[in-house]
Structure 1
Amino acid sequence: MRPTHLGVILTMMLPCLGIAAEKPRAEEELAEARRQAGDQHKNIFLIFSASWCGPCRQLERFLETPRIETIVEKHFIVVNLAVEEKLGKKPELDTPGGEKLMAKLGGGSGSVPFFVFLSSEGEPLVNSNRPAKGIAGGTNIGYPAEPEEIDWFMAMLKKGAPALTAEDARVLESYLRSP
């Protein structure tokens, strides 16, 4: 048996032996998203979230709603990186390098979900830090629930998904503004 085949077999057996394979690093996941975004002529919707975070689950439910998911997937490759899991006592769930990438893109500790729209080349277009008077860098909207947060999310979409139709924008905004 050639060494390459042995490596593949051992990698496949790791879960059976109770040994977890290493999670993909944040930069690897972003590189794959850039490849897909380039191939599909889309931008990237990069989300930093945590399993213990209620607003993160709200954003997840929003994005998984069939009509919303269809609209979002027309314009974006969606990538979700786990960060700050130590706060929920599950540091093993963190995406290696995720917190460093989040900080590089403008995210702050303890403020998830944080998300960024990136070009297919991985260049930041806009992030979820809403401009706020007297606060350098703005404040993270997290899940857009308040009117000013929804307004910022809709402004983000204009930058991140310029081909978004008025009807699709209306569907997204109506969902967010409904009680």
Structure 2
Amino acid sequence: MKKILFLSLTLLLAFTAVTFAQTAVPSSDEIMTKAYARAKKENKKVMVIFHASWCGWCKKMEASINEPNLKKFFDDNYVVVYLTVQESKGKENLENPGALDLMTKYKGDKAGLPFWFITDVNGKALADSQERPAGAGLDTYGDNVGCPASEKEVAYFAKILKSTSKLNDKEIAMISERFAKNKE
């Protein structure tokens, strides 16, 4: 009887360990559905940032957005979500299922990382990280600014923030100043 109990407990523990080790990464659909619902409830836009564990510029972007004196500006205006794509060989398990398809849908498949876009609560694209010639729509490819750092990239990012948020000029200036430090 003791052997059966011991064997049962051992199998139960092994099964539990395997189950916890295989916790599924949420799909892009799951993440976006929650983001749109929250944005609608809180009257915000959705900022989607595609990143990968190997991407240094992605880490700079996330660190800039989450800097203590700026985080509230983003949190007050956007539901910010991160989707993992284009992972290195052996780390594909970190990718959000469906995220690469979403990136392609929003014309980010040729952009590099980080790629980001901003939508309304219904998923309508309002802006993205690709700077395009005047008059070109979001349905065309442009030059990806990724994590803004140069003067031109930061100015583009500031223009996007101004058009998609309630941020005032002082707040945008603070964000711009921080992102300019990414060049260093």
Indicate the TM-score class for this superposition, using the shorter chain for normalisation. Answer: 0.7 to 0.9
SS for the counterpart of 1:44 is: strand
TM-score under structure 1 length normalisation: 0.84
CA-to-partner distance for each residue in 1:85-142, whole Å, 9 max, x for gaps? 1x35410000000000001011024701000011112111000001159x95211111
Task: Indicate whether 1:138 and 2:142 are aligned.
Answer: yes
Q: Is the 8 A contact 2:162 2:168 kept in 1?
A: no
Q: Are the structure 2 counterparts of residues 158 and 29 from structure 1 closer, same or farther at C-alpha, using a change threshold of 3 Å?
A: same
Counterpart Cα distance in 2 of 1:42 and 1:15: 42
CA-to-partner distance for each residue in 1:57-94, whole Å, 9 max, x for gaps? 00011011011111110100010000001x35410000
Q: Is the 8 A contact 1:52 1:88 kept in 2?
A: no
Task: Indicate whether 1:176 and 2:174 are aligned.
Answer: no
In the TM superposition, what are the counterparts of 1:87-106 in structure 2 within 5 Å?
A: 87=88, 89-106=90-107
Amino acid at match of 2:56: G
Identity of paired residues, percent?
Answer: 26
Report the equivalent of 1:151.
155
Aligned structure 1 segments of 4 or more residues deviating by more than 6 angstroms: none
Q: Are the structure 2 counterparts of residues 15 and 168 from structure 1 closer, same or farther at C-alpha, using a change threshold of 3 Å?
A: farther
Gaps of 5+ in 1: 1-12
CA-to-partner distance for each residue in 1:115-172, whole Å, 9 max, x for gaps? 0011112111000001159x952111111011111111111112221x1111111110
Counterpart Cα distance in 2 of 1:102 and 1:50: 13
Q: Are the structure 2 counterparts of residues 45 and 146 from structure 1 closer, same or farther at C-alpha, using a change threshold of 3 Å?
A: same
Aligned residues: 164
Q: Is the 8 A contact 1:113 1:143 kept in 2?
A: yes
Gaps of 5+ in 2: 1-12
In the TM superposition, what are the counterparts of 1:103-118 in structure 2 within 5 Å?
A: 103-109=104-110, 111-118=112-119
TM-score under structure 2 length normalisation: 0.82
Q: Are the structure 2 counterparts of residues 165 and 177 from structure 1 closer, same or farther at C-alpha, using a change threshold of 3 Å?
A: same
Report the equivalent of 2:17.
17
Q: Which has the larger radius of gyration?
A: 2
Counterpart Cα distance in 1 of 2:63 and 2:14: 32
More moved, 54-63 vs 108-117: 108-117
Q: CA RMSD in A?
A: 2.1
SS for the counterpart of 1:125 is: strand
